Structure 1
Amino acid sequence: MTPNLLQAFAILSMLCCSTTAQSYNDTKTLINDLMGTYNKKVRPVETVSEVLNVSLTFYLSSIISFDEQEESLTTAGYLRILWKDRSLVWQTSQYNGVAMMFVPQDDIWKPDISLRNSFSTFTGLGSSYQNVIVENDGTVYWDPFQVMKSTCSVDITYYPYDTQECTIKLITWSYTKDDVNLLSHSGIIKSDYSESSTWNLVKSTFEVDNDIIASITYTLTLERKPRFYVFNMILPVILLSILNLFTFVLPLSSGERASYGITVFLSLVVYLTLVAAEFPKNSDTASHLAVWLIIMVSLSTLAVILTIIEARMVSRDEGNHPIGKYYRKFYGIVMYLRCKSCKKRVNRVESKVASSKQDIISSYSDEEFNPDLKWKDITDAMDYVFFLGIVIFTILITLILLLMLMFNADKVTGGYSSYEQ
């Protein structure tokens, strides 16, 4: 076959197989025909009594912020809203196969869906520059992207291992259940969701309510990521509480115990202020962490008070202020607890060998066998008891706090699968 015949055959094949392309004029004619008599103020139904079904799906993009002080949640995403507009139906054969067109959202009727629990301003969805997609059977697709700031009640009981449940309630502001019926089959879609650096989204649910006014309520269950708060808040406070324990290890004779205790007290108060700054001022619940900090501050205050009392006691003169029998009895009990009785008692009580606990305690609390007992010995015994008491109490309170926080964290993560719908 010659080249000229091949070229002629190729041109003939192109002409036979070509189809008529949709042109600009076809779409222009379609829009003019449909929009010429269109009234966006009228609900697009055949009869006034007909209820218009509007389907809504929320595509969550990100959690921008969660402000505990304001008790507000800011999220970003877009809504897939679709309905059938009976005034926007056409036959594709009449417009050269045009089956879809783009129309500015403000040029057609659309449901006035709004955020019911808005935190700041009340605004409609979308923007004037956004378009809607209209198919030839009248189906309208509206995808308004929105940054929504909604109110959210805060529960700080288990801070920083807390979970928060926040709702995003969307309603048709003007229409009742007899006009518009909201539907949702998918709830929140997280295919485009970007993970927050502060919160884990552990669960999301939705509820449709068309009793009086059509509404859809989305509920987000958020779990705080505690690592930042553990390293920058909890661990420093635990270390400060350990310093608080050693208040009674520092000798009274150094003259620095009171200033040491006050320094630890002020440090705990600073951290208490930092924690309180994270909490909402109108919260109805108290944080376990804040209660624990108050207990530590109270212990530090008590340590300073006891230090001042001991400093007053150690300066007493035994001649003017004899050591009473109750102090001696207390000293004897402490000596028994410190297990220093056996060897010293044999040297000081020659022929009397103690055969019981009461004998040991009596030998140290009896003035006859302890004529040189000083007020310094009493304060040393008090330091021993106070140190043991504050250590046991601090460890007990700290373990209770950590167990409560960890138990709540396990309960939350164990109750929900990752990104459960």
Structure 2
Amino acid sequence: MKEVIRGFLLFCSLVSTVSAYTLSDEQNLRTSLLTGYDKELRPGIDRAFPLQVNTSYFLFSINEFDMDTGKFTLTGFFLQQWFDERLSWDPANHNQTNSTIILQNKIWLPNLINTNPFEDIRGLGSELISVRVSSTGLCEWYALQVLEVICDPDVSKFPFDTQYCTMKFFIGGYLPYEVNVNFVTSEVFLQLYHENGVWEITASTTHTKLNLYGYEEVVVGLHLKRRTAYYTVSLILPVLAISVLLGFVFILPPESGERLGFSTTVLLSIVLYLTLIQDMLPESSEPNVSIIGYILVSYVMTGAITVIFVIFGFRIQSSCKKPVPRFIASTVKCFRRKRKGVNSAESLETKSVAIDEDDNDGVSWIEVGRFFDKMCFIVSLIQIAISNIIFMSIVYS
């Protein structure tokens, strides 16, 4: 019996909450509300107090971020709530009509005007959007908008860069003591957000501030981080591998005749990657130029110097008929590896070279060339390692 009574009471409560108003009731209500309504006057009976507008921003998607032009396009909507006493009524006088829908161009709106647009300055919403008005005068406006704003990119750490892009608005014509905008939360609502393939949102911010002209400025900011998996696999790792190859040209046998062609091919590969990266980056050099651009330029310079050293190494090998200068022979002898035993049999290469034992301390041009290749190989690897360490320390700092 108790369960039956409890079920009946629940049913009665549900029935009592169902609105039974008709089309005529809502039509009469809208006629009553809009008769004599002046949408150019802001709500608020007591003008000594500002109208409080509660707002939130819901982000749907990031559509585009053009690094060349700084065009940042995204889709979302502002949910704005305020009280308009002129749009309040007693539901009992209108057959329990608790709410209605009114097109946004028929009532006053706290229309936010974008102050950092990419092209045209315009407000929110459109003629297709309506405002839901409740009997208490509470107005709820879902201002859906595709926004195109200017965001100056900082590519100094490309492709491991982070960006901070903002959307700035103000309610035109109203000072803070007339209309006061309050964000419900200090962050953007991302429950409806669809992930972007290039950019990841690491943080967001929403706040208001006074600009230089005394108007209240509404700011919505997004902290973006580039997704680096694609660039790491297709750009960073190949460049690092090619740069390491620069040093290994010096361990190729000189008689193979492939040194010059190998070093030139590696140099052209680095130049190709430099061209590809330059196409990805904006032409503007402010605030900073990409560090990877400097690294690739250093690789190009290293490649050019490598080609010069290869040619110089060939020149050393062709100087067999000339005596080795004493200071060169002394340097080579200081860094000569110690051998376990003395080989009494001379190689065919040594026999073909005229050596003055008193002038060059037993050092031939062939040994000078090998010593030169070894030093170039070590220095090249050290230079590449230092460049890569500098690059990684900067991008992860």
TM over 0.5: yes
**What is the rounded CA distance, in whole Å, between the counterparts of 1:22 and 1:341 in structure 2?**
106
Contact 2:324 2:359 in 1 (8 A): no
- How far off is 1:333 after superposition? 2.8
Contact 2:201 2:223 in 1 (8 A): yes
Counterpart of 1:190 in structure 2 is: 190
Structure 2 residue 120 is matched with structure 1 residue 121:
yes
**What is the rounded CA distance, in whole Å, between the counterparts of 1:40 and 1:173 in structure 2?**
15
| Counterpart amino acid of residue 383 in structure 1 | D
- Corresponding residue to 2:237 among 235, 238, 245: 235
**What is the rounded CA distance, in whole Å, between the counterparts of 2:157 and 2:177 in structure 1?**
44
TM-score by length of 2: 0.86
Contact 1:237 1:271 in 2 (8 A): yes
Residue pairs, 1:188-337, within 5 angstroms: 188-210=188-210, 212-282=214-284, 283-318=286-321, 321-334=322-335, 336=336
- How far off is 1:372 after superposition? 6.9
**What is the rounded CA distance, in whole Å, between the counterparts of 1:176 and 1:56 in structure 2?**
17
Contact 1:328 1:366 in 2 (8 A): no
Moved more, 69-78 or 384-393: 69-78
Q: Secondary structure at the match of 1:216?
A: strand
**What is the rounded CA distance, in whole Å, between the counterparts of 1:263 and 1:85 in structure 2?**
74
Q: Secondary structure at the match of 1:79?
A: strand
- How far off is 1:403 after superposition? 4.0
**What is the rounded CA distance, in whole Å, between the counterparts of 1:24 and 1:147 in structure 2?**
34
**What is the rounded CA distance, in whole Å, between the counterparts of 1:116 and 1:34 in structure 2?**
33
**What is the rounded CA distance, in whole Å, between the counterparts of 1:63 and 1:333 in structure 2?**
64
| Counterpart amino acid of residue 308 in structure 1 | I
| Counterpart amino acid of residue 53 in structure 2 | V
**What is the rounded CA distance, in whole Å, between the counterparts of 1:177 and 1:221 in structure 2?**
28
**What is the rounded CA distance, in whole Å, between the counterparts of 2:130 and 2:269 in structure 1?**
58
Contact 1:289 1:401 in 2 (8 A): yes
- How far off is 1:22 after superposition? 0.7
**What is the rounded CA distance, in whole Å, between the counterparts of 1:292 and 1:20 in structure 2?**
70
**What is the rounded CA distance, in whole Å, between the counterparts of 1:127 and 1:270 in structure 2?**
48
Structure 2 residue 144 is matched with structure 1 residue 145:
yes
**What is the rounded CA distance, in whole Å, between the counterparts of 2:35 and 2:210 in structure 1?**
34
Q: Secondary structure at the match of 2:170?
A: strand
Counterpart of 2:72 in structure 1 is: 73
**What is the rounded CA distance, in whole Å, between the counterparts of 1:381 and 1:328 in structure 2?**
11
**What is the rounded CA distance, in whole Å, between the counterparts of 2:217 and 2:23 in structure 1?**
40
Contact 2:79 2:142 in 1 (8 A): yes
Q: Secondary structure at the match of 1:343?
A: coil
**What is the rounded CA distance, in whole Å, between the counterparts of 1:61 and 1:20 in structure 2?**
33
**What is the rounded CA distance, in whole Å, between the counterparts of 2:241 and 2:45 in structure 1?**
73
Structure 2 residue 381 is matched with structure 1 residue 379:
no
Contact 2:326 2:359 in 1 (8 A): no
- How far off is 1:370 after superposition? 5.6
Moved more, 89-98 or 110-119: 110-119
Q: Secondary structure at the match of 1:368?
A: helix
**What is the rounded CA distance, in whole Å, between the counterparts of 2:281 and 2:74 in structure 1?**
21
TM-score by length of 1: 0.81
Contact 2:324 2:360 in 1 (8 A): no
Q: Secondary structure at the match of 1:305?
A: helix
Contact 2:75 2:147 in 1 (8 A): yes
Contact 1:198 1:224 in 2 (8 A): yes
1:236-258 deviations in whole A, cap 9, x for unaligned? 10111122121212233333322
**What is the rounded CA distance, in whole Å, between the counterparts of 1:400 and 1:367 in structure 2?**
46
1:136-171 deviations in whole A, cap 9, x for unaligned? 121111001112122223222322222211212121
Residue pairs, 1:107-118, within 5 angstroms: 107-118=106-117
Q: Secondary structure at the match of 2:357?
A: coil
Contact 1:181 1:210 in 2 (8 A): no
CA RMSD of superposed structures (Å)? 2.6
Counterpart of 2:7 in structure 1 is: none
- How far off is 1:41 after superposition? 1.8
Q: Label 1:117 to 1:389 Cα distance change in 2 as closer, same or farther (>3 A).
A: same
| Counterpart amino acid of residue 218 in structure 1 | V
Q: Secondary structure at the match of 1:217?
A: strand
**What is the rounded CA distance, in whole Å, between the counterparts of 1:312 and 1:69 in structure 2?**
47
Q: Which runs of 5+ in 1 are unaligned?
A: 1-13, 349-364, 409-421
- How far off is 1:95 after superposition? 0.7
- Corresponding residue to 2:387 among 384, 397, 401: 397
Q: Which runs of 5+ in 2 are unaligned?
A: 1-11, 346-354
Q: Secondary structure at the match of 1:189?
A: coil
**What is the rounded CA distance, in whole Å, between the counterparts of 1:366 and 1:126 in structure 2?**
93
**What is the rounded CA distance, in whole Å, between the counterparts of 1:222 and 1:403 in structure 2?**
20
Contact 2:19 2:97 in 1 (8 A): no
| Count of matched residue pairs | 371
Contact 1:86 1:138 in 2 (8 A): yes
Q: Secondary structure at the match of 2:358?
A: coil
| Counterpart amino acid of residue 66 in structure 1 | F
Contact 2:323 2:360 in 1 (8 A): no
**What is the rounded CA distance, in whole Å, between the counterparts of 2:263 and 2:287 in structure 1?**
33
